[in-house]
Structure 1
Amino acid sequence: MTPRIEFFNGITEDLSNVSLQRDPRTGVKSVAMTFEQLNALERFQSFTSGFNGVVSLIDEEGDIAVTPSSCRIIFGGDEGDDLRGVICRFEIDQENHWERFMRFMNRYADENGFAYGEPDEGQ
């Protein structure tokens, strides 16, 4: 089974970037997934496919239902109405949930040519 991400049932989205962070005070880990486009919106399928308030991460182990703490939609272009991206954030506070998420991300990365990298010191 190919790992996939869905905002809307049956419509696979393409992840552009992911940022993983950990709060040093609380140990809570946060994830920011960036999508340059949403296939559901571009095909006007969101109106018929049913968004249920969760992002589904699906792989050979099953489905992970993630409830975002925020989703920011970025617009641009001459008129300011061109979709430039969506940033979806959520937190993971249980270690077994984090391990499951990382197994999904490793499978997704392998399938889609992603590579793990640390930010440069100057950033």
Structure 2
Amino acid sequence: MATLRSLALASPVSHYLQHPRSSSGIVSWGVHRSAKSSFNGLSLHLPFLRLARLRRNSHGPVTMMVKPKIQFIQGTDEQTIPDVRLTKSRDGTNGMAIFRFEQPSVFDSSGEVGDITGFYMIDEEGVLQSVDVSAKFVNGRPAGIEAKYIMRTPREWDRFMRFMERYSDENGLQFIKK
């Protein structure tokens, strides 16, 4: 009970419980005990206008933090870290990223989960995707995957670089300019 009491005293509502106002003001409260309910404590009444103002001020943009990941089958994260090569046109308007995966984990689960449907780069901003995916086979067995992502505008390039920055931070990659 002491824990509940300390939590109640730490809440924003506790200020109003310690400094009650009249029912014509903002808050009214009273002790509540009911034979039909196990609730035993203080009831707090906030008038509608005050409650609406609290709601309006307390909600803002919601940012969801999503771990950056790569998928070949939607819903199945690729565990293998790729070798990534970037090319960019001289005028900077377009470019291409080539991802090479040696022995990707998707080969272990593709029979159980489904077919490779594309190349998906997922982060907190959304999904970048490509269907330019090819598999490399050695002696009839899958050995690697190469995926290409083409950026046709500076905006697409910037978006891709934001994804790569997050993905490299998460997976310990570093950029080497050649």
**Aligning the two structures, in what range does the TM-score lie when normalised by the shorter sequence?**
0.7 to 0.9
Correspondence 1:63 to 2:127: yes
Which residue is 2:164 aligned to? 105
Q: Percent of counterpart pairs with the same letter?
A: 27
Which residue is 1:3 aligned to? 68
Which residue is 1:35 aligned to? 101
Which residue is 1:73 aligned to? 135
Distance in 2 separating the partners of 1:26 and 1:116: 18
TM, length-normalised to structure 1: 0.77
Contact between 2:81 and 2:171, CA under 8 Å: does it hold in 1? no
Amino acid at match of 2:71: E
Contact between 1:9 and 1:50, CA under 8 Å: does it hold in 2? no
Which residue is 2:13 aligned to? none
> Higher helix proportion, which one?
2
Distance in 2 separating the partners of 1:98 and 1:26: 9
Runs (4 or more) in structure 1 with deviation over 6 Å come to: none
Structure 1, unmatched stretches of 5+, are none
Distance in 2 separating the partners of 1:26 and 1:102: 13
Distance verdict in 2 for CA 1:40–1:95, change over 3 Å: same
CA shift, 1:105, in A, is 0.4
Contact between 2:119 and 2:133, CA under 8 Å: does it hold in 1? no
> Higher strand proportion, which one?
1
Higher Rg of the two aligned structures: 2
- Aligned-partner SS, 1:41: helix
- Aligned-partner SS, 2:147: strand
Q: How many residues align?
A: 112
TM, length-normalised to structure 2: 0.55
Which residue is 2:56 aligned to? none
Distance in 1 separating the partners of 2:75 and 2:91: 38
